[in-house]
Amino acid sequence: MQICKAGVTMDKLKSFLIKVLAFVGGSFVAGWLGVFIFSLVVLNMPVTVYPKPTENFYVEDYSGCLNEETERYIYEGAEQLEKDTGVQMVVVTVPNTHQDELENYSVHLANEWGIGNAKEDNGILLLIRTDKDKESVRLEIGKGMEGDIPDGKAGRILDDYAVAAKKAHQWNALAGDTFSAVVAEVYKIKGMECPKAIRTGQDWQDGKAETKGTFADANFPEEKKLGLTASENISRSFSNANKYFLWGTLVAAVILIFIIMAVVHEGIRNYDGRRRGYRSSGGSSGGHHGGGGSFGGGGASR
C-alpha cells in the first residue's frame, strides 16, 4: 500500500477528493436552487405602498367617496383646530389597505406622514376603508393625546358617529360627524370654546352631491412586488439556467483540478521521501404637512 505524508493513504486521498467534488457540486446546485426559490417566493411577495400626502393634507380622499362640501368642511375645520389648539387632525379615505391589517396600516401611515407636533405627539388620524365587505374605520391617536382620548373614548366616538354610517355606506356622514365629534372633544380638553361651525348631524348630502373630481381626490398607489411576477421569474430563471450551469461548472472544474494537482503532487513528493510542509498565503482587505408627530397604536377600530 502506498503511504503518503503522516501516514495518509492514497485511498484516503481518493475519499477526500470525492468529498471535495460532492461539496463543490452540491454547493453550486444548492446555491442555484436557493437563488431560484428566492426569486420566486421572496421577490414576489406583495409590498404595501403607502400614499403620499398632497398639499391638502387635512383631508385626502383616495377612495373618491367624499363630496366637495364635506372635504372643505373638514379642511377648514382642521386648519382652524391646529391654529387654535396645536392639535393636527387628518381624515383619509382609502379603497383598501393592500395586504396590511387596518391597525397596522393606520399607525404606519400616521407615523410616515408625521401627523401632529414632534414635541407633543398630538396628531389624530381618522382612516376610512371603503372596499366592499371590508368596510372599516380607525381612529388613530397620537402618543401625546392617548391620555386625553384613551382607547375606550375613541371607541365610543366611533360607536356614536361612525358605525351606523359605515353600514349604510354614508361616507360623508361618517367622515363629517366623526370629525366634528373629535374636534369638539379636543376643544373641550383644551378648555376652549368649539367654533359654532363645527357640529354633527348635518345633511352631508350622501348620494346627492358629486364625489368624483373634487379638490381632495387623490390617486391611490397600487400594490407593488419586490421583483418580477412569478411567471416572468420562472421564464427568466430557466432561460438563464444554461448560463448559470456553464459558469458554475467551469468554476467548479478549475477548483477541483487545482485541488487534485496539489494533492497528487504533494502525495508524490511525500512518497519519494521528500517531506516538505505546506504554505499558505493570504491577502488583506479592508401646502400643509405633518410636524413629525409619532403614534404608538392607541385608538380604536370599528
For residue 107, the domain's CATH number is 3.10.310.50
* Number of C-beta neighbours around residue 85 at 10 A: 17
Query: Considering only CA atoms, which of 182, 115, 165 is closest in space to residue 144?
Result: 115
Residues 174 and 266 in one domain: no
State the DSSP string of 262-280: HHHHHHHHHHTT-------
Cell matching residue 246:
456553464
Q: Can you give the pLDDT of all 302 residues of the chain as single tens digits? A: 444 444 456 566 566 666 655 665 565 555 555 555 555 555 566 778 899 999 999 999 999 999 999 999 999 999 999 999 999 999 999 999 998 999 999 999 999 999 999 999 999 999 999 999 999 999 999 999 999 999 999 999 999 999 999 999 999 999 999 999 999 999 999 999 999 999 999 999 999 999 998 999 999 998 776 654 445 555 554 555 555 555 556 665 666 666 666 555 555 444 444 333 333 333 333 467 888 899 999 999 99
Split into its structural domains, the chain has a count of: 2
Task: Write the pLDDT tens digit of every residue in 93-131.
Answer: 999 999 899 999 999 999 999 999 999 999 999 999 999
| Pairing assessment for the beta strands 295-301 and 136-142 based on DSSP bridges | antiparallel
Domain end: 223, 254, 288, which one? 223
Partners of 35 in beta bridges = none
Residue 281 covered by a domain: no
**Backbone region of residue 45 per phi and psi (left: phi > 0; alpha: psi in -120 to 50; beta: other values):** beta
Residues 200 and 165 in one domain: yes
pLDDT given for residue 41 in this prediction: 53
Query: Considering only CA atoms, which of 52, 59, 51, 49 is closest in space to residue 214?
Result: 59
| Pairing assessment for the beta strands 224-225 and 136-142 based on DSSP bridges | unpaired
pLDDT given for residue 289 in this prediction: 82
pLDDT given for residue 47 in this prediction: 79
Partners of 127 in beta bridges = 92, 138
Query: Considering only CA atoms, which of 187, 220, 188, 243 is closest in space to residue 32?
Result: 243
| Pairing assessment for the beta strands 88-94 and 59-61 based on DSSP bridges | parallel
**What range does the domain containing 261 cover?**
5-44+230-271
pLDDT given for residue 49 in this prediction: 87
